[in-house]
Amino acid sequence: MRLRNFLAALGTIPSLVHADYVDWRSFKANGVNLGGWLVQESSIDSAFWARYGGNASDEWTLCQNLGPRCGPVLEHRYATFITTRDIDRLAKGGVAVLRIPTHYAAWIDFPGSQLYSGNQTAYLKSIADHAITNYGMHIVIDVHSLPGGLNGLPIGEAMGHWDWFNNQTALDQSLQIIDNVIDFIQNSGSPESYTIAPLNEPADLNKESMSNFGTPAVLSDDGAAWVSKYINAVLDRVSKVNSKIPVMFQGSFKSPDYWYDQIPDDANLIFDVHVYHYEHPPNTTSANLPAQLCADAKQKTGSGKFPVFIGEWSIQAAQRNSFALRERNLNTGIAIFGQYTQGSSYWTAKFTGNDTVNGQGTQQDYWNFGTFIDNNWVHPGSESVSC
């Protein structure tokens, strides 16, 4: 009985009995991102970056600096950072959805790109198969970067790269990438287990300063028009091949309402809203985080024309981070997002970065979902939450 309640609270029961395609209007699931696996970030794994990254601020430069060693170093990373044992551990913690960030180079090798194209999709396939076969997990394939650069950040291609916007070559290449993702899913043996997330955090107004990142103002109307052109082309392509595969749209930090009139009413689409408070608002603390998450769940999720998933979030607060409040904040977030949206995926499954935070500890104390599972902290059903 308790186990059943626990699973129901986490939203895993539907996926355990699911053999059909996911309809995100009714499907609910919670899970994690597999950050730092097929997309490297200096903050996620300090030891890896210290060993291989040198003075590089992004994977593009890391690879440039490593030269011919880049391939072997990254292939080793793919083989070891996430293994089937990690998936077993996540399953134990009730994880029912995996959002998996990939660089575009996982899908296609463009001349001139310093991002490494190797065996990413083979590793992706073997981890996804394990998660699907053994645990009925749902897989969100996240194309985290796009050619030319999506947001000037290391994750969008490389630091200082914004050339994806208003660039027809980059758009055409992006659609080739999506065609390859569609092929992968269609040939996976379980296409019903996948959702496609074709872009992440597009931003073009963070060139002077990063202070508006995480707010609607980080993407211009002109930039949004380009995003709209892309997402419509993606919807068109996916629906022509298999209209049952959902598309998850990370519409930067704008409200889903902003996009409604630019998307066909019958699109098989779910919005992905990201919720972070490690910088904004600057008065967020571990103590007031639950109230902030309540406000997010009500205000950032739109008026309901399309379903919403919280594709990334974490419990680090801008100020006064507290060890003692982590368990409460974790379960509050999972519970609230499960109540107001179709669920959430935490950023991220494994995190050993040691950057300092305001208050107690370092980043790894707040961002590592694996530790939360090991500590038996994941029990959102038991958190009494009222917004």
Ligand X SMILES: *[C@@H]1O[C@H](CO)[C@@H](O)[C@H](O)[C@H]1NC(C)=O
d(CA 63, CA 283): 38
Site for ligand X in 231-250 (CB under 6 A): none
Binding residue for ligand X, selected from 121, 145, 173, 268, defined by CB under 6 A: 173
In whole angstroms, the minimum distance from the beta carbon of 325 to ligand X comes to 14
Size of the site for ligand X (CB under 6 A): 23
Reduced to 3 states (helix: H, G, I; strand: E, B; else coil), residue 314 is strand
Rounded CA separation 387/379 (Å): 18
- Beta carbon nearer to ligand X, 28 or 161: 161
| Contact residues for 127 (Cβ-Cβ < 8 A; gap 6+) | 34, 82, 83, 84, 87, 98, 100
CA 331 from centre of chain: 19
Q: Which is nearer to ligand X, 163 or 279 (CB)?
A: 163
Closest CB 66 distance from ligand X, rounded Å: 10
Q: How many CB atoms lie within 10 A of CB 386?
A: 7
Place of tokens 């209007």: 25
Annotate each residue in 123-142 with x if it binds ligand X (CB under 6 A) or - if it does not, as one string: --------------------
Q: Where are the beta strands (DSSP E) in 154-307?
A: 194-197, 247-249, 269-277
Of the candidate residues 7, 13, 43, 65, the single one contacting ligand X (CB under 6 A): 65
Given a contact cutoff of 8 angstroms between Cβ atoms, the answer to whether 131 and 139 are in contact is yes
251-290 binders of ligand X (CB under 6 A)? 281, 283, 288
Pick the closer one to ligand X by CB: 5 or 169. Answer: 169
How far CA 275 is from CA of 4, 230, 255, 343, 369, in Å, comes to: 29, 23, 12, 12, 16
Separation of alpha carbons 144 and 103, rounded Å:
6
The footprint of ligand X on residues 334-363 (CB under 6 A) is: 354
Q: Is 148 in the site for ligand X (CB under 6 A)?
A: yes
Q: Does 119 bind ligand X (CB under 6 A)?
A: yes
Q: Segment 286-345, which members bind ligand X (CB under 6 A)?
A: 288
- 248 beta partners: 270
Stretch that binds ligand X, among 21-29, 100-108, 131-139, 165-173 (CB under 6 A): 165-173
Segment lying near ligand X (by CB under 6 A), choices 46-54, 238-246, 256-264, 324-332? 46-54
Structure tokens at 334: 């999972």
Among 170, 234, 235, 308, contact with ligand X (rule: CB under 6 A): 170
CA distance 79 to 120: 9
Stretch that binds ligand X, among 27-35, 49-57, 180-188, 212-220 (CB under 6 A): 49-57
Q: Provide the CA 332 distance to its chain's centre, in angstroms.
A: 20
Is 214 near ligand X (CB under 6 A)? Answer: no
- Of 11, 35, 36, 147, the one binding ligand X by CB under 6 A: 147
Residue 47 binds ligand X, judged by CB under 6 A: yes
Per DSSP, the residues of 7-74 read HHHHT-HHHHT--SPP-TTT--EEEEE-TTTSS--TTT-HHHHHHHTTT-SSHHHHHHHHGGGHHHHH
The radius of gyration computed from the CA coordinates of the chain, to the nearest angstrom, equals: 19
Q: Based on CB atoms, which residue is closest to ligand X, 55 or 299? A: 55
How many CB atoms are closer than 10 A to CB 348? 22
Check residue 167 for interaction with ligand X (CB under 6 A).
Answer: yes
Of 10 and 115, nearer to ligand X (C-beta) is 115
Is residue 190 near ligand X by the rule CB under 6 A?
A: no
Q: How far is CA 16 from the centre of its chain?
A: 22
Q: Does 202 bind ligand X (CB under 6 A)?
A: no
Cβ distance to ligand X smaller for residue 65 or 242? 65
Q: Would you say 135 or 165 has its CB closer to ligand X?
A: 165
| Contact residues: ligand X, CB under 6 A | 46-47, 50, 54-55, 65, 71, 75, 112, 118-119, 122, 147-148, 163, 167, 169-170, 173, 281, 283, 288, 354
